[in-house]
Structure 1
């Protein structure tokens, strides 16, 4: 370990000897295992009845999925077996600091990696990133020791550790970057104020010095986001980056009690220094760089394939279903819409929610079109519709008004909106006046919800973070990695492929991001009156919404009060999206809409 200190100088010219790097890596990694096992031995009560890792409770999550594996885990969970494994881990971790022969080092590393894998389920609650990194390090150290006669094997293991370390820091930083909490510096005071990771004195210090706190938060972001710079200038800046990261973990160990993180992540630093430095050491032995070259080739092939798939997906989204019509709105936007059904009654126009498309309504439109002329469309920027004007709620409402007038052709109109679409429908109804004979709100958004509902405000922060990352990710072709959401699988089979393509296409996310930037600002500052609606209203609330956020019931009641007459319904057993995507939930909604429209026509007849 002392022999590595000279390689921490920024001006290093020769690569570190791989044998010294491997030894430093496995020894630093062993400290995490040593500390964790000593902690578990000292806190046996955590595994007793009432503790977070009582096996009688934890095993229920495994026995239904894999009864055979659970039998093995039952053996590991026995008090004497668990204790014996931890004692063996303490011995193996300590042994790695001795001048052992190769076979003993292989065994010690293998015991640490294997026992951690065996004990994972036993200590499920309380494991964290430190455990994952230490398992990776010790597993690869085992492989490197077994194949130490072949330099390419050892170098591949060290490269893997180094690349994983760089990836971990970089992803962590870029995941934090969209968060306003981190960008404004509020994250650090927030963390130090919590019960689990809090430290009152540090929190008070942060509160007294907000500018320094923000600078510190920005420093953390810069260190993590810029971690790949360890490879710049043949590794000359690597010691500075690693020193900053190590200081960050040391501070976390003191303030937050995350001591194991310091040892687990610093165990990757010798490999990072080795991989980022010159290829040849002082003796002329060259580092084998086959693994990073292979990784670069695979990443290049993946990105190329992803772009080809992205282009094909985009073509499918733009092509739509083949029966769309277009409308040149007064705003300059070009709207793509479908008109289905040929009923003689009112024209039903459906307005989508945020980050949603016309296909979300498929169960409902299929049923409504049997009796009514039904119109769905994509707001500007979504799917085949083109956005030529900047988004404002006034523009969105104007587009909906233009569409309603164009498709109605003098007939009465019923506007139905889901989520954000409900609020837009209310505003459009106010503008259209007598043309609209009814308005339906399906789990609608209320412009005051971010101010009055803590749950909605919290969800808004998460949505802001997601929408700051998703458009660029989809444009980069990473949509291929998105797992199909549950709502796609519950839509009618004939629209699932197109709906999944829309979900993985950047237009959906770019459209939502540009809308949300405006909507969030307006909703956070809303203190006015709801638009009055001169027609009867149908207000439907999802049962999950009512159960988890009672404020929404009050808000929906207020929306109902904006009409001269209103029906209120709560559909139990369904959440915000299932009311459209689930066949049963959508069928219930469609039935309520049908009866509502029938009532409107009855009013006209009388």
Structure 2
């Protein structure tokens, strides 16, 4: 009897405890279910900044890579190359009609391709056989890291023979190209040369005077930074504003693609350092035009420096452009048309 009663009590207690355990499990399940409810988490400011910077870096790199790819393909399709004896090539953009009466060789400014002459060429007559080229290491031209001044002259010799044989030649240069045009004319005398047009040229004596000083260091740093921007793709996102929108769309895009190449700026850096070792031009036996852009400069000082170049030739003229800057002098159509008139032999006499 007692054992039967004990078994009954045990069953009752077991049922009660089981019910309690079920309730406990049920409560725990409900509580745990509340813990599993989705919560909204916010990113810290540092993480947001890091994600933004990473996204910008990836996107700019991708845009830069695409810009370089498109640029190489466009340049290869649109421009030709002149083979050289050493196995290298020089990128060339030229035209010559059967009735050509004179030739023009354009020498580019530091860090710019031959497309910078687009407007000037546009306003030259059909009687002008035009040759634009990229110096070694620029565009499709083979690199020549230790190019001497005489090696630069040899390229011009080859261009004359290959494209302009038999024509009197006008040498036209901008910035560093202005110096190279005059230096070439000095080294070759007046053999087959008509005249020289220096457009806001680099004055080698002025460049040598700042070596080791802050302006020289800043110029070097600027060129190195441009190569970094090009490598990261930022040059494609931020094209040089001084010419942007002034040239036709295709020309502007081509120059932007050219500037998106890190090698453009590394080569320009080497050219800048080498230029400080060049000898100043002393004397020309052909007529000379010096064109000076005054906007954005210390006008009086810049003008005085450029005026000294008039002493290079007994027949020289100085043309001042107060509303043109160093790059805009070629990029703005109005100025380019006037420059074209200086290039045509006899039109300025």
Structure 1 and Structure 2 fold alike (TM over 0.5): yes
Residue 415 (structure 1) shift = 0.3
Unaligned runs of 5+ in 2: 1-38
What SS does the corresponding residue of 1:426 show, helix, strand or coil?
helix
Partner residue, 1:530: 281
Cα distance in structure 2, aligned partners of 1:507 and 1:349: 24
More strand by share: 2
Residues 66-90 of structure 1 show CA distances to partners (whole Å, capped at 9, x for unaligned) of xxxxxxxxxxxxxxxxxxxxxxxxx
From 93, 97, 122, the equivalent of 1:338 is: 93
From 343, 346, 349, the equivalent of 1:598 is: 346
| TM-aligned CA distance change 1:560 to 1:451, over 3 Å | same
What SS does the corresponding residue of 2:319 show, helix, strand or coil?
strand
From 122, 146, 152, the equivalent of 1:366 is: 122
From 153, 172, 193, the equivalent of 1:436 is: 193
RMSD value, Cα: 3.1
Check whether the contact 1:426–1:439 (CA below 8 A) recurs between aligned residues.
yes
- Alignment pair present for 1:157 and 2:39: no
What SS does the corresponding residue of 2:91 show, helix, strand or coil?
strand
Residue 573 (structure 1) shift = 1.1
Partner residue, 1:349: 105
Partner residue, 1:187: none
- Alignment pair present for 1:556 and 2:306: yes
Check whether the contact 1:541–1:553 (CA below 8 A) recurs between aligned residues.
yes
Partner residue, 2:33: none
Residue 599 (structure 1) shift = 5.0
Q: TM-score, normalization: structure 2?
A: 0.77
Residues 419-438 of structure 1 show CA distances to partners (whole Å, capped at 9, x for unaligned) of 10011001111233212121
Check whether the contact 2:289–2:317 (CA below 8 A) recurs between aligned residues.
yes
Check whether the contact 2:210–2:216 (CA below 8 A) recurs between aligned residues.
no
From 372, 396, 405, the equivalent of 2:161 is: 405
Partner residue, 2:70: 313
Check whether the contact 2:294–2:322 (CA below 8 A) recurs between aligned residues.
yes
Cα distance in structure 2, aligned partners of 1:543 and 1:300: 38
Q: TM-score, normalization: structure 1?
A: 0.46
Cα distance in structure 1, aligned partners of 2:214 and 2:53: 39
Number of aligned pairs? Answer: 309
Check whether the contact 2:119–2:336 (CA below 8 A) recurs between aligned residues.
yes
Larger Rg: 2
Q: Greater relative contact order (Cα 8 A, min sep 6): structure 1 or 2?
A: 2
Summarize the alignment of residues 478-493 of structure 1 with structure 2, pairs less than 5 Å apart: 478-493=234-249
Cα distance in structure 2, aligned partners of 1:517 and 1:553: 24
What SS does the corresponding residue of 1:550 show, helix, strand or coil?
helix
Residue 592 (structure 1) shift = 2.9
What SS does the corresponding residue of 1:368 show, helix, strand or coil?
coil
| TM-aligned CA distance change 1:313 to 1:536, over 3 Å | same
Residues 239-295 of structure 1 show CA distances to partners (whole Å, capped at 9, x for unaligned) of xxxxxxxxxxxxxxxxxxxxxxxxxxxxxxxxxxxxxxxxxxxxxxxxxxxxx5x56
What SS does the corresponding residue of 1:441 show, helix, strand or coil?
strand
Partner residue, 1:326: 81
What SS does the corresponding residue of 1:339 show, helix, strand or coil?
strand
Residue 297 (structure 1) shift = 6.9
From 287, 294, 301, the equivalent of 1:543 is: 294
Residues 133-174 of structure 1 show CA distances to partners (whole Å, capped at 9, x for unaligned) of xxxxxxxxxxxxxxxxx7942x523545xx6xxxxxxxxxxx
Runs of 4+ in 1 over 6 A off after TM superposition: none
Unaligned runs of 5+ in 1: 1-149, 164-291
Residues 406-456 of structure 1 show CA distances to partners (whole Å, capped at 9, x for unaligned) of 3221221110111100110011112332121211111111111135579xx
Residues 351-398 of structure 1 show CA distances to partners (whole Å, capped at 9, x for unaligned) of 111011111111101111433111111111111212145233332233
